[in-house]
Amino acid sequence: MLRSGLLHSSWNKISELRASRAHQVQTPGLGIKLFQETKYTVAVFVAPPINITCPLNSASTLLSGTEEQNPFHFLCSEKISSFSLHTPAFQLFDSAYKNLFGLKKELLESKKPVIITGAALGGSVASLFTIWLLETVEAKLKRPLCITFGSPLIGDAKLQEILENSLRNSCFLHVAYASQTPMKPNFKPFGTFLICFDSECLCIDDPEAVMELLGGASAVDQIDYGEVLDRLDQTVMEDSRLMIDDVITRMEERAEKKKVRFDQLKKLNDIKISMIYIEWYKKKSKMSKIGYYDRFKTHLVSSASPFDVDIEKRKIEVNDYWRSLVEEVEKKPQSEKSVLKTRSLFSGNNYRRMVEPLDIAEYYHNGGREYRASGRSRHYVMLEKWFREAYPKEQHRGKGTDLSELLTFDSCFWSEVEDALIMIKSLNTQEGDREALLSKLVRFEEYVWEMISKREVSPEIFLEKSSFMKWWKEYKEIIKGFRSSDFTKFMKDRMYERYGQAC
Amino acid sequence: MALDFIPGISKALIATSWRLSTKPYTTNDQFHQEVVEDNTVVVAFRRSFLEKDWFAPANESSFGETKMDPAEFPSMISFSNDVDADARATVNEAFLKSLQLLISPSCTQSVKTLVENMRPRRIVFTGHSSGGATAILAAVWYLETFFTKKCSDFPVCLTFGAPLVGDYVFKHGLGRENWSRLFVNFVTRFDIVPRIMLAPKASTKQALPYALSQLGRTRAPIQENDQTIAGFYATVMKDVETAARQAACELIDGENAFLETFSSFLELSPYRPAGTFVFSTGTRFVEMSNSDAILQILFYAYQSTNEQELSERPNQSIRDHHGYEEMVDSMGTKDVYQLDLNHFLSDGGEYALFDLRLSTSARECVRAAFEAEKKRNDNQSKIETTITKQSTTKKSIEEKLKWIEEEYKQPRCQAPAKGYYDSFKESNDDNDFKANVTRAELAGFFDDVLGLMKKGQLPDGFEGDSDWIKLATGYRRLMEPLDIANYYRHLKNEDTGSYMGKGRRPKRYKHAQKLDEHDLLKSGGTAEKIMASCLSICFWAEVEDLRGKKYDEVTNEGTVEERVTKLENFLIDEKVDDHIFLEGSTVTKWWHSLPEHHKRSSLLQQRMGYTRAT
């Protein structure tokens, strides 16, 4: 890395710009200059020395809220909606916002790769600007590189957590002299660090290890990194190896943990196989005219066959998989959400429609009510939301399509059935407001009818022993003589027997 | 120890090759030829020290590179890198042009005519310096043009101090076809020429014509204090260092997003060593074919921490570029040390690394290169175990395929059954479920293997191995119909479109098909035969797509009527399995749903048992 010349040339540009500003008296604020090199564009940030403008331990600024309030709004995720930045750096950034806006536009249009650099507080602003420039990152696009020299940390643990889950993290190289880079309490590093000692250096990206190696209280402006780089350049040629054993051991442990987390997501194929089992379970249940929802519900009550027990295990397995996948995606900054690829979006949707009914069965078996409003796991909500965002209008099923393998579009359908059954029970025991209950039941009827007309519901709901048919039998008695509709006709004339068949 | 780089290549043959490579030209000829040992002919290519013959003048890329044309070089491709778009090999354009001149029909002294006349004699392609580069490309062209899997008279390519010619894909292609072993590159320790292509044009541009002219002078040594030459050598070696260190980082750290960002700012040479390299170290020869390790050696063997030694390097280098006479002479007297994985694992390559005076960190890098090779080999043996050997918990891949073929497919492919496609699509039986689980297990296995290939974590030869191609093809033929059935059973066509649409068909099948097609091409198959091999599976998807369409509809792929006719012709012309026409099969049901007027004139009438409605 040292021999590439990128670090030297960045430092030289900073020195050049600093020198050109030195003879101007009392330059307040930020200095920015663009250098057009043959192979790349370099944007250099120079800021006033840290000890003049502000004490190092100056406060941090909490950023949250909408786009208007927070220029870094795009970093927020479902999980993390706010984070804190180093106040002096943010103020400098904010004061030059208009200029930076123009620079952002220019750099985004640049055909050459972009290097953004700065030393001390200038480097902090360079980092902030780079994050801002990376509002849209795509794996295939050329990424810019931000090189800072001896800059204080700019953000808190939340910012670090956001960036850790993002490609953006790969765009930062912080060169820092070990003993002279003060740490601010609660602030955390991100990106890759080149930590310099007297004649050696170490390149790491593990934030905890960086924290352990950096430290010290002295001011950071006075170091000439040009000299540091030259000195290191000499030693790199010889065989030098810096060993800080315990730091390395701990790094390895963390890397191992990260790997385990990653491996969990890798067993996609096992999940597919479990889904095949559940699919088969559904088929078998249909053959015994009960429907897999009701079979699952029944076996929760009475003793179960080994197949039922196995399905219960597989349900837990696939749930765990999707729950952790959704969690990972939720940590991603919102501008990177498209990482959930089309294929996983569809398999996630398929999973939700297949497995959520089983969770509903369990929920009502345990005495729950109003699942949709108060019992639903967050990962189902998110999967549905993301799917809707990507496909606001789902294709209707063709008129002649055989629906026998269709999964009901609304994965909460069975909870609506359960709630309707509870209402009927209340009616029969004369609890509650009869009129209100009746109108709710009619609403449920309309809801079902709409799905039937749109061919969005599985024909399995009409199986003899299904809860839905149980509801219908009781509902039929209640409305006898005073209500008839397309739906009641459809049910009474047993037109459902031909529902969903291919023609 | 004897010289046995390649069986049948004698010391005398190497000596002849060297003599012919440096024999002066009195005419405009571009190569010399000589028949030796009755059945072998040596073709040596002319070298040039003019800049235009090293970097094509009109070429604007940083390293003078260009892509190879797959029509001319069908094997110089990576099938696994990106299944949807073949990654073509990159080579130096100037070297490619010098070959193309020699094989064009308008050429008066054509290599093409020569080799056609000389066959079936064995041909040795050879050359010194840039002549070696032409020899490498000529050998590749010869293999691509005249070789099918049945041939046995393999050509050989011997180069002396040749520059690097092609990139990773070039090296991968040679490895996959099992051709790497036919290329032997002799390199003296300090010769700059095998290193030159690692430096971008821009950094050497000014000094290059002069440096080349100095390399071309065989006699008078340069002045000790020639600053231009010293600067040129320092620049080249700095770029070699960047390339070697970057490659070492990748070997040691693996995939790393920061490294990726950082290296996008460096001008990294695409060229990589390909084939076997034989280095002379003074006391012995070191033979090696691990491309990554060779790259490291190209850098570290030149290095020195001693200022005095470094200042002597340019002179040494020029001497070494012409020092092959001595190397050839000493063959047979000096030891040959094979620095391969086995030796490296047993003694750490001590002798060789000592002879090349490698430092500790250099050895670390060479070690990393061999560790990576070991990992590739381990991955391969793990796969091979999964294919054939049954573990305690899982059945082997072969066993699973056998079960599908014999226990699942065959009973369902005789009347009164509907064929295994439709049986699977309906899935009413315990065995259908079992087949479905097996389908997913097999998919997992083939996806994993493809993932390893894509990341370069299997030996180059793995994909070209005929056993693997056979297995993958068998798998595709047997199982893809089930994947298609599964796709349409779950109405995925209504969600995301046709199975054959972009991004729908699993990559494992696309890849297996590519390997199969390439194999057919290499064994002399015709274009029609290759096309049919693909259709013979995927017609199921076409039937499913057509089922949902009206006869007079117009689709993106043409009118339905045209598509129907095309499909019918295929079903008649090709020997498709009989079970496709069983009553109750999707094909039969679909055909009978076609309009009467179509059926009346259809060629499939008889096959479908159609009798005209009266």
Chain B nearest-CA distance from A360, in A, is: 23
Per-residue pLDDT tens digits for A218-269: 555 567 888 888 887 766 544 434 445 556 666 666 666 666 555 555 578 8
**Confidence at residue A239, expressed as pLDDT on a 0 to 100 scale:** 41
Between chains, do B444 and A38 touch, taking CB under 8 Å as contact? no
B415: left (phi over 0), alpha (psi -120 to 50) or beta: beta
Q: State pLDDT tens for residues B552-561.
A: 888 888 899 9
On the question of pLDDT at A163 being above 80, the answer is: yes
Contact list in B for residue A265 (CB cut-off 8 A) is none
- Averaged pLDDT score across all residues of chain A: 83
Q: pTM of the full predicted structure?
A: 0.89
Whether residue B444 and residue A272 make contact (CB cut-off 8 A), yes or no, is: yes
The residue with tokens 């060629």 is: B603
The residues that bridge with A156 in the sheet, in sequence order, are: A187
| Residue B92's pLDDT band (cuts 50, 70, 90) | very high
pLDDT of B421 over the 60 cut? yes
* Nearest to A191, CA basis, from B252, B262, B253, B250: B262
Residue A451's φ and ψ, nearest 5 degrees, are -70, -35
Residue B512 pLDDT > 80: yes
| Cα within 13 Å of Cα(B109), Cβ side | 11
pLDDT recorded at residue A92 = 87
Residue B597 has pLDDT above 50, yes or no: yes
Instruction: Answer whether B437 sits within 8 Å of A276, measured CB to CB.
Output: yes
The reported pLDDT for the residue numbered A240 is 39
What integer pLDDT is reported at residue B337 of this predicted model? 85
Q: Please give, rounded to a whole number of angstroms, the shortest distance from the CA of A113 to a CA of chain B.
A: 7
User: How far is CA B603 from each of CA B542, B567, B571, rounded to the nearest angstrom?
Assistant: 18, 11, 10
B321 an active-site residue?
yes
Average pLDDT, chain B: 88
The first and second tokens of residue A407, run together, are 């999964």
Comparing B27 with A385, the larger pLDDT belongs to A385
Note the maximum CA span of chain A: 98
Q: For chain B, what's the residue count?
A: 614
CA distance A203 to A211: 13
**Residue B330 annotated among the catalytic residues of the structure:** no
Tell me if B601 sits within 8 A of B565, measured CB to CB: no
What pLDDT score does A425 carry? 92
**Which amino acid makes up residue B19?**
R
User: Considering only CB atoms, which chain A residues are within 8 Å of B436?
Assistant: 276, 279-280
* Chain B residues with beta carbon closer than 8 angstroms to that of A142: 264
Q: Is A235 helix (H, G, I), strand (E, B) or coil?
A: helix
Q: From A63, A50, A73, select the one nearest A122 (Cα to Cα).
A: A50
- Residue A445: what pLDDT? 95
A183-204 pLDDT, tens digit per residue, is: 677 788 899 888 887 777 778 8
User: Residue A392 pLDDT more than 50?
Assistant: yes
Q: Which residue of A has its CA nearest to B433?
A: A280
* Residue B609 φ then ψ, to 5°: 65, 40
Residue B57 has pLDDT above 50, yes or no: yes
Query: Which letter does DSSP use for residue B423 in this model?
Result: H
Return the residue in A170, A175, A203, A288 with the most chain B beta carbons within 10 A, the one to mutate for interface testing.
Answer: A170
Place of tokens 């054939």: B388
- Express each pLDDT in B392-407 by its tens digit: 777 899 999 999 999 9
In chain B, residues with a C-beta closer than 8 Å to the C-beta of A40 are 265
Q: What is the pLDDT of residues A351-363, one digit of tens each?
A: 999 999 999 999 9
Residues B589 and B422 sit within 8 Å (Cβ to Cβ): no
> How many residues are there in chain A?
503
Number of C-beta neighbours around residue A348 at 10 A: 22
Residue B339: predicted pLDDT: 87
Instruction: Say yes or no to pLDDT of A56 above 60.
Output: no
Segment A369-376 shows an average pLDDT of 93
**3-state secondary structure at position B286:** strand
The pLDDT of residue A98 is: 84
Least confident among B262-271, B336-345, B527-536:
B527-536
- Cβ of B444 and A269 within 8 Å? yes
Contact B496 A346 (CB under 8 A): yes
| Residues near B554 by beta carbon (within 8 Å), at least 6 away in sequence | B560
pLDDT tens digits, one per residue of A105-136: 888 888 888 999 998 888 999 999 999 888 87
Report the C-alpha gap between A387 and B7 in whole angstroms.
Answer: 62
Range B39-59 average pLDDT? 93
pLDDT value of position A301: 76
Q: Which of B359, B441, B495 sits opposite A346 (nearest CB)?
A: B495
Percent share of chain B, pLDDT over 70: 96
**How confident is the model over A439-468, as a mean pLDDT?**
94
- Give the closest-approach CA distance of B499 to chain A in angstroms: 13
